[in-house]
Amino acid sequence: MRRTIACLSLVLLLSSCSWFHRVSPGAFEVHARELAARWQGSADDRAWREGFVPLEAMNPRGWARVGRVPHWVNISAHNGAWQLAAKLPANSPTHADVRWPDGSASQVPLITAASAYTEFSKPADFIEEDCPTKGCRPLRVAGAELGEVPLKTSRGTIQVPAWLFTVEGVEQKYVHVAVAPSAVTARPERVPGGDEEVMAFDLIADKPNELLLEYGYGACDSIHGARAYETDQLVVVDVDEEGSDELCLLMLKTATITVTLTRPLGDRLVLDYGTGLPVVRGVRRR
């Protein structure tokens, strides 16, 4: 499948999406081979398998996921209305171990509570409204402790060290991941001009040679099945789609489909044919 995501906008419009056509089996294999050669043994490959590659924002200006904070709290945080009302820990550890789902561990450097406070206490880059007199008040930080929070990474979901700040009058802790930026590798970039095709995959119980793929498609697209290109280290997956000359509702839909491999996946990575990037395990159950 080779298509432009703009054609699958969530905006409800009518248009013709006839500009993309099926990719022949030969063309699929040629491009899949190129993607596999580009990825295999690369710095991105090593970082994905052995490094610290977050798959979500490490610090999205968030509170602990326990209940909801009052509206004024979010407005105040967005506007940077922080006040330090206590001394922050001075003798915190400089390193900590993170444990991966396979049982291995890595030592990562940590930032101090003071550094974390300096980072999150700045106002947001884009402030849509100033602090209203009655709707915004100081967020007084009364202390901090080192804890852990879950984080999705290329090697699975792990518990990472995080500073948990106590704020006067707020039940939830304010969370800031304590892992230093020097330990983190950014998520790799897709191949130029590539569009995501396969969004997620899962293994299928009692069918070791099959994968369940989650993918997106247009309202008038025809689906001709899924296919895979395999090496000893990688599997490149694709959903064989074909556009239509009809006037269609421009809306992205999602579905699942299975693809059969020549042998069980094992520890091989799954790459998306559209982007050339690894596909994360975890199909959304409907």
Query: Mean pLDDT in the chain?
Result: 86
What is the C-alpha to C-alpha distance for residues 69 and 157, in angstroms, rounded to an integer? 25
pLDDT digits (tens, 9 = 90+) for 187-231: 999 988 888 889 999 999 999 999 999 998 877 778 889 999 999
pLDDT attached to residue 79: 82
How many C-beta atoms lie closer than 10 Å to residue 148's C-beta? Answer: 15
CATH class of this structure's domain 62-183: mainly beta
pLDDT digits (tens, 9 = 90+) for 248-266: 666 778 899 999 999 999 9
Q: Which residues of the chain have pLDDT under 70?
A: 1-21, 65-67, 125-130, 132-134, 244-246, 248-250, 286
Q: Which position has the token pair 């710095």?
A: 43
- Kindly provide the residue ranges of all beta strands, DSSP E only, lying in 154-221, ordered along the sequence: 156-167, 174-177, 198-203, 210-217
Task: Note the pTM of the prediction, 2 decimals.
Answer: 0.82
Q: Which position has the token pair 């294999």?
A: 29
- For the chain, the domains span 5-50+188-281, 62-183
